[in-house]
Structures are given as structure tokens and as C-alpha cells.
Amino acid sequence: MHAEDTHGASTTSDAVTVRILHPDELQAAAGAAARALQDDPASVASYGDDALYRLAQTHSLFSDLFSRVTMPQHGAIAGRCVVAVAGVLPPGTCVGAMMAPYVKDTLAAPEPPPGDPLRPAVLWATWAAHDPGVEHWHIGPVGVEPGFQGVGIGRAVMESLCDELDDHGRIGWLETNKDRNVRFYSALGFEVVARADALGVPNWFMRRDPR
């Protein structure tokens, strides 16, 4: 596995390259992230037990996000395939900004039952309610294609993103809902600043100041 600084980096079939993704690779990145996160506790709580439905919904969400994002996205390439991505959104474009007008009403309403299409909004409103009041770069989705997990690809992609944040003096912010992810991000310099439950799922809110 190796990192490249240029958009024109080439790879071989037996190597993984970490680099900025080309615009025409972002939809493949959405697919990789959807497959990585379809069984995430937040996805299950939001979309239910049907794995194919969860995959379709998470893919639609990430596809829309990557179709609108304008800043560079960090990823990993194996051969010609995108196998990992660490998404990042600039200030004013993340879930906190989008959900801000709806947070109070969404969280005050009864929790939608399983199968209700409004269930994900409860999760997003909870995230928005904890969004920091300082300028920050919102990280996510972060995912590694199943079959490529557990060999350090996710860490390499996140290190690439964190290096960029440091180079520009930017604050990184993310949410996660697994203990093991808290440990993973803590090793990269993120600190837990809050915790909240949504749809029965714990959420840890983590911040990383530039080094």
C-alpha cells in the first residue's frame, strides 16, 4: 500500500494506492461506502432489517452527497476499483447546516416507528443538535469495501485526510456509533466531546484540532 500526491497516480493489481479520487470515481466511492456501512447500527436503526433495502438507501444517500461535493475526497484504489473512501464536507454543507431549521421539531415529535421514511431524520437531527459552533470540516462517510477491511486501508485513507486538515489548519468533526470506531479515531487524534442516543443507537461526537 502506498500514498500518492497526484491525481495521475497509477496502480497495479497487487497494490492499493491512497490518493485524491477523480471526480468520475466518486460514484464508485459511494457504492463502496454503502456496502461498508449498510450493516452499521445507524443504518439498521434507520432503514430496518432488509439488507437490500438498507444498501439501496445508503447508496442513494452517499451517491447524492458525492454528486454535490466540491472539495477533494480521499480514497483508496486497488487496480481500477475504489475500495475505500473518507468523505469530507466543508463548513456550511454538512448535516448540521442542512438539518438546523428542523432540529427542534424533529426531536420534539414522537419517534417514527420502524419502516417510517422519517426515521433517518431523527438520527440526522441528533447529529445536527451536536454540531460544533466553530468552523469545521465534517468527515463521512468513511468506509472500506468488505473483503478489504482489517488490513490498514481505512487508517491510511484517514491519515491522508488528516494530513490535509493539518496542512490547512482545519478542525475535523465526525460521528460514530461503535466502540471500536471510537478507539480507531482516537488513535488518529480525535477526542470524544459528547455522546447521545438516537433511535436506540449510541452516538459519539469526536473532534480533531489541527496538529
Give how far Cα 38 sits from Cα of 16, 20, 45, 59, 62, Å.
23, 24, 11, 9, 11
77-95 pLDDT, tens digit each: 999 999 999 999 999 999 9
25: alpha, beta or left, given left = phi > 0 and alpha = psi -120 to 50? alpha
pTM score: 0.92
* pLDDT value for 6: 36
Instruction: Calculate what percentage of the chain has a pLDDT beyond 70.
Output: 93
Domains of the chain, start order: 2-208 (3.40.630.30)
Instruction: Calculate what percentage of the chain has a pLDDT beyond 90.
Output: 92
By DSSP bridging, strand 137-144 and strand 74-78 are unpaired
Which is higher by pLDDT, 74 or 8?
Answer: 74
Mark 177-207 as b/e (b = at least 16 C-beta within 10 Å).
Answer: beeebbebbeeebbeeeeeeebbebebbbbb
153-186 pLDDT, tens digit each: 999 999 999 999 999 999 999 999 999 999 999 9
pLDDT band at 2 (very low <50, low <70, confident <90, very high): low
